[in-house]
Structure 1
Amino acid sequence: MTPYPVKTLRILALHTQGLTTRYKAGNIPTLSSIYEIVEQLGCVQIDTLNLVQRSHYLVLWSRLGAYNPVDFDSLVYSNEHQLLFEGWQRIASIIPLKDYRYQMPHMDRLRHDPGDWYHRWLAQEGHNELLPLVLERIQQEGGLRAADFKYDGPKRGSWWDWKPAKVALEYQYAFGELMIADRVNFHRVYDLTERVLPAWVDTRPPTLEERDRYWVEQAALALGIGTPMQIIGYSYYKRNHLKPIVEALVSEGVLVPVEAELMNGKSITFLVHRDNLQMLQQASEGEICAERTSFLSPFDNLFWATGRDEQLWGFRQRLEAYLPAPKRTWGYFCLPILHKDRLVGRFDPKLERKTGVLRIKALYLEEGVEPDEGLMREVASAMLDFMTFHHARELEIEKSQPWEFGEKLLKAL
């Protein structure tokens, strides 16, 4: 069997991630188009870093262009438009409400066996008695933040060293007694699940096998193409637990092995969901093309398949925010630059919100990439939209490698 060329594999991976359509000026995203992207991806990771817009907002921008984040929030927290919710899927995420039922087995397990850390916490004096008190206040007063609970104890240490009321809230959120009803300055507002979860949501718990098959199939559809471990990594549970599920789906013909060419010239067997086989063929024949130029969050779903960035793009995505500054190669919060089917560079941005300056602390092109007219035109167009999304009025570049990349970008703007 002749391996599919790496360009075809890239296009399929980008297409199933919603990253192939050319940006169109004046095309205003709607609530429906925002929801459809989250549904296509399966979920979007939440993260606290906010050098620019937070990651979950960036993931949507990368695929839709400038939109109003309030619209995204309304899909999560507004009773009128709610189609998404905050949950835990691989990581803290925003998830379609249609998938709520698949969270229920995990919630039920935590309710009966919350784990050693919570067992130790509950064994401490007063903590077990705190749980009903927290629920009673929320029942009477409505949604509350952790900050709404008075704390007179010693000053807390690291960010994870929560005060008791915060732990009580998170504990009851983890097993489904509470949900996140809103965010105020990014602080969670907890409320009773019965008041947050819409009545139309299916709450019939699936069997463990139904849940596991659902997560694996969803991951395979969203990734487009990947190894068994990459598909498992995109989904919900631990690798050893899901390996038999992947093997069963392969034997049933749901996941189909294909030979694939890698950047290093070697070939490998990847898996493709049978529903994506037609797209693979269309990508191979040029009927689907990669036409988008955009910037990607370090937490973007495209990078959830560990090692695939190097296999298909020869690009190593790294988040260096948690490294000491001297150990960083690229910068604190570098965004990869996608140009058509290639990852051509990255930049480390910081939005100065008071002055409206978008500061690029470092800008890089990948080795062998030339800043030609076509590339500069598309990157400049994406940067203008990125600035619009951030309400930035000015761009400043502190460092560029090569230097002409930054110079040409500023001229193009």
Structure 2
Amino acid sequence: MHVLTRDEARRIAVRAQLLDAHRPGDVVEVAEQIGAIKIDPTAVIAPSEHSVCWARIGWSYEPGQLAKAVEEDRLLFEYDGQFRPASLLPYLWPQMRSRMLRPTTQAYLDANASFRADILTRLADEGALLAADIPDTSVVQAGDEGGWYGSNQVPRMLELMAYLGEVAITRRVGRQRVWDLPERVYPADLPDLTPDEAEEGLQARRLQALGIARQKSGWSGVGTAGEEARVEGSEWRWRVDPEAIAALDDDPGGRAAILNPYDRMLFDRPRLTELFDFTFVLEQFKPKAQRVYGYFAHPILVGDRFIGLLDAALDKKRETVVVSAVHEMLPFDDDEREMVRAEIRDLGEWLGVPVAGLD
């Protein structure tokens, strides 16, 4: 049983997400450590996949690095809305092939068996294709209660087939995914793991990405990976990565980081509140009149504390990052204020535009 102070627990969490003073060298190092880089089209300042990388690598990160790692080097792959390291594929593949779907989803797939076969035949014969290049031969249409899909069933079917490992995303053209057969995208020599062995491996990698997490939490999915820990002032049962414990004495210090709202660091909301005393609510889907901090406010981390929220947006017409507000969740001291301002200026420099509204 490890006994940790809250400061130690926070430092472990920050370091596991590569948000301390030591910056990683490239996108592959980022993905290997944090496990997944969220893809999302919302680009108030920059798309999440690029914001996530910039928050860790800094000014030397260029968006082309991510595309190269996925499309040319095949060191990363896209699955279920995230870029993941190729080293995770052996653990994900058995789960893809053995997933149990909801009865309504399975019924939809069964009714459209010929549609699925048509897609596989077309990909086999013609090679990689955009969804727009594949005809909709569905027999049954699924409902669209969430408003994410139109009447064309091709995108939905491709996503379900990718979830089951029947097709794969080989690259992107702009924001559009290009689909192919998995044997032309994934390595052919994947180890033969059982679903239980795969889940055990995934739990260990999830804990590596988080450093410390609540035991058996549905948010983190670490199960009983790592070792048991207690955090002062918390009644939770925690699991901690033993390598993170060993590295506690080798502390490179903290820095300022501006995080995209879809950043992996923020995903486990209960842990965020328990360890960091920070309750983050994304106001993107709230009516404008109910927003307090902004449509897509970016949390500001300094050291091991979340001290503010940045409400800013890239004005493409003016080619300027416009800062509407820097909300101080905790009062900034002079050093913190300058660190935050410097990070916002660096964000503008990375985007190649000036920053307005900071002074």
TM-score normalized with structure 2 length: 0.88
1:229, distance to aligned residue in structure 2 (A): 3.6
2:356 counterpart of 1:396 = yes
Could you say which residue in structure 2 is the equivalent of 1:87?
79
Could you say which residue in structure 2 is the equivalent of 1:8?
8
Could you say which residue in structure 2 is the equivalent of 1:340?
303
Q: Any residues of structure 2 matched to 1:45-60 within 5 Å, and which? A: 45-60=38-53
For structure 2, the 5+ residue unaligned runs are none
Q: Any residues of structure 2 matched to 1:268-279 within 5 Å, and which? A: 268-279=236-247
SS of match in other structure, 1:234? coil
Q: Distance in 1 between matches of 2:3 and 2:336?
A: 29
1:104, distance to aligned residue in structure 2 (A): 1.9
**Is the Cα–Cα contact under 8 Å of residues 321 and 348 in structure 2 kept in the other structure?**
yes
2:350 counterpart of 1:379 = no
**Is the Cα–Cα contact under 8 Å of residues 22 and 252 in structure 2 kept in the other structure?**
no
- What do residues 172-209 of structure 1 show as CA deviations (whole Å, max 9, x unaligned)? 2222221101112211110111222245xx42231222
Please, which moves more after superposition, 319-328 or 37-46?
A: 319-328
1:68/1:51 Cα in 2 relative to 1: closer, same or farther (>3 Å)?
A: same
2:204 counterpart of 1:214 = no
Match of 2:231 among 260, 267, 274: 260
2:28 counterpart of 1:35 = yes
Q: Distance in 2 between matches of 1:215 and 1:101?
A: 10
Match of 1:317 among 272, 277, 280: 280
Q: Distance in 2 between matches of 1:279 and 1:131?
A: 49
- What do residues 8-52 of structure 1 show as CA deviations (whole Å, max 9, x unaligned)? 2211211111111167xxxxx75xx22011101112222221112
SS of match in other structure, 1:233? coil
Q: Distance in 1 between matches of 2:11 and 2:117?
A: 52
Q: Distance in 2 between matches of 1:134 and 1:227?
A: 42
SS of match in other structure, 1:36? helix
For structure 1, the 5+ residue unaligned runs are 24-28, 236-241, 398-408
Moved over 4 A (4+): 150-154, 266-269
Please, which moves more after superposition, 346-355 or 57-66?
A: 346-355
Could you say which residue in structure 1 is the equivalent of 2:172?
183
- What do residues 296-329 of structure 1 show as CA deviations (whole Å, max 9, x unaligned)? 1112121233322222222111212122222222
1:364, distance to aligned residue in structure 2 (A): 0.3
- What do residues 39-97 of structure 1 show as CA deviations (whole Å, max 9, x unaligned)? 0111222222111221121111111102111111111122xx12010113xxx221111
SS of match in other structure, 1:307? helix
Q: Distance in 1 between matches of 2:137 and 2:246?
A: 62
2:219 counterpart of 1:233 = yes
Q: Distance in 2 between matches of 1:116 and 1:389?
A: 47
Could you say which residue in structure 2 is the equivalent of 1:140?
125
Q: Distance in 2 between matches of 1:114 and 1:308?
A: 29
Q: Distance in 1 between matches of 2:322 and 2:104?
A: 42
1:162/1:362 Cα in 2 relative to 1: closer, same or farther (>3 Å)?
A: farther
1:205/1:318 Cα in 2 relative to 1: closer, same or farther (>3 Å)?
A: farther
Could you say which residue in structure 2 is the equivalent of 1:197?
186
Q: Report % sequence identity.
A: 26
2:164 counterpart of 1:168 = no
2:36 counterpart of 1:65 = no
Structure whose alpha-carbon radius of gyration is higher:
1
**Is the Cα–Cα contact under 8 Å of residues 290 and 341 in structure 1 kept in the other structure?**
no
RMSD: 2.7
Corresponding residue pairs, total: 353
1:357, distance to aligned residue in structure 2 (A): 1.2
1:99/1:363 Cα in 2 relative to 1: closer, same or farther (>3 Å)?
A: same
Query: What one-letter code is carried by the residue in structure 2 that aligns with 1:106?
Result: Q
Could you say which residue in structure 1 is the equivalent of 2:321?
358
1:208/1:109 Cα in 2 relative to 1: closer, same or farther (>3 Å)?
A: closer
Q: Distance in 1 between matches of 2:43 and 2:121?
A: 34
Q: Distance in 2 between matches of 1:2 and 1:128?
A: 52
Q: Distance in 2 between matches of 1:37 and 1:2?
A: 27
1:173/1:4 Cα in 2 relative to 1: closer, same or farther (>3 Å)?
A: closer
TM-score normalized with structure 1 length: 0.77
1:99, distance to aligned residue in structure 2 (A): 1.5
